[in-house]
Amino acid sequence: MSSPSCEAAAPLARPERFPVAAMLAMAVGGFGIGTGEFVIMGLLPEVAKGLQVNIAQAGRAISAYAAGVMVGAPVLAVLTAQWQRRWLLVAMMLAYALGNFASALAPGYPSLIALRFVAGLPHGTYFGAAALVAAALAPPGRRATSVALVMTGLTAATVVGVPLATWAGEFFGWRAAFALVGCNALAAAWLIQRHVPAQSAPAQGSVLDELSALRLPQVWLTLGVAAIGFGGLFAVFSYIKPTLLHVSHMPQSWVPLTLSLFGMGMVAGNLAGARLADRWLMPSIAGVLVWALAVMALFYWAALWPVTAAAGLFLVGTIGALGVGTQMRLMDVAGKAQSLASALNQSAFNLANALGAWLGGAAIEAGWGWRSTSWVGAALALGGLGMFAACLWTARRESLRA
């Protein structure tokens, strides 16, 4: 597929400083996507009541969105491998706006599930392309930090966007939250078109080159680290509102602020993870997985009281440090298949979303209580460490064979 633009796009010279306007424009798109992905977690009781289903059933809308990301990221990344990347980012934002406006108008539960799947389709391709643009615009030795700056829009959404949209959903109805996300996506499309410099896809960005990533064991193992290791964060956060209300006995007026603490943890983890990944990529990934295991075990007890639950949720957010590490690892091992590998990190992230939400919901439905999501998260962190060990072992075998 050829680029939809006839505009010439020469390779960009690597700057000495970060191009602030371009980074901010792409971060605004990430802000909208982060808000759209996470806001339903704070509105599950309202969605369940409005559609006359139980909370666990409403939670399947989270899994449907994640499934959309998992399908859309590889398919759209391959089909658009030769697109000019600025226009690809604009197209993904327009598609995201459409999916969220449609979600706001969903007439019932089955249609909401279907439309959340559709809304998730452009998510991974947007972040994959944004990560590649950010890496190309980075000053020397700052690739991970540059990618993290763009991803800060996603994490900042949990500080500002999700609490704001949650408040709007509680006050005006849950549909208003998705309408706000759609408006944000339209604004991001305009900002990207205006401020992101033209940047062509690499000359070798053919469909076959992109599909070559699927033959590489290191790509699959790194995706496994992300898909399993991230799952615990979503197992806890997907059901955080009922946990805070029914276990911590937190006043409902505290909940939006507490959710913003989770977002602050994600911002802190994202930036810290980027600094570590720029220096010690593989040790930083292992360290975050060990940290995730400890945080999940701690949250089981912290959830008993309002103040400790809020502090524990901040720590759960810091597990977001894993994202930039796996993103950079995929870009390092993917060879020519940069677009697909970069987008697949978002597929893995959302597989973690679906897996965590499903396993957490299964534990709750089994009668183990709201806090059981912490032990689900701890088990997933252990699984992520197992995948990381397999990644190291396979890399060593490949090195010895070479």
The per-residue b/e assignment along 4-43, b for 16 or more CB within 10 angstroms, e otherwise, is ebeeebeeeeeeeebbeebbbbbbbbbbbbbbbbbbbbbb
pTM of the model: 0.78
- Domains in the chain: boundaries: 20-401
Lowest mean pLDDT across 50-59, 247-256, 262-271, 391-400: 50-59
Tokens standing for residue 308: 């400790």
* More confident site: 294 or 328: 294
* More confident site: 79 or 41: 79
Rounded to whole angstroms, the Cα distance separating 82 from 4 reads: 10
* More confident site: 118 or 279: 118
Nearest C-alpha neighbor of 130 from the set 155, 148, 117, 142: 148
| Residues 210-236, mean pLDDT to the nearest whole number | 89
pLDDT exceeds cutoff 60 at 1: no
The CATH class that applies to domain 20-401 reads mainly alpha
The per-residue b/e assignment along 324-355, b for 16 or more CB within 10 angstroms, e otherwise, is bbbbbbbbebbebbbbbbbbbbbbbbbbbbbb
* More confident site: 159 or 389: 389
